[in-house]
Amino acid sequence: MDIASFVTSLVTSFVIFVVLVLVFTWLSSRPGNAPVYYPSVLLRGMDPWEGRGRGTRSPVGWLRQALSASEGDVVAAGGVDAAVYLVFLSSVLSILVFSGVVLLPVLLPSLTTIIDNPTGIVNMLANSLPGSATFFLTFVALKFFVGYGLELSRLVPLIIFHLKRKYLCKTEDDVRAAWAPGDLGYNTRVPNDMLIVTIVLCYSVIAPLIIPFGVAYFALGWIIAKNQVLRVYVPSYESYGRMWPHMHTRIIAALLIYQTTMVGVILLKQFLYSPILVPLIPISFIFAYITHMRFYPAFAKTPLEVVQHDVKETPNMDAIYTAYIPACLRPEKLEDVDIFEDAQSHTTSRAPSI
Domain boundaries, the chain: 80-307, 317-345
**Cβ within 8 Å of residue 248, ≥6 positions away:** 288, 291, 292, 295
Q: How many CA atoms lie within 13 A of 2 on its CB side?
A: 2
**Cβ within 8 Å of residue 221, ≥6 positions away:** 148, 193
237-291 pLDDT tens trace: 666 677 778 778 888 888 888 888 788 778 877 777 878 888 998 999 999 999 8
Task: State which of 12-16, 24-28, 206-210, 301-305 shows the largest mean pLDDT.
Answer: 206-210
Rounded average pLDDT over 96-104: 57
Distances (CA, A) of 122 to 104, 259, 266, 273, 295: 19, 19, 11, 18, 42
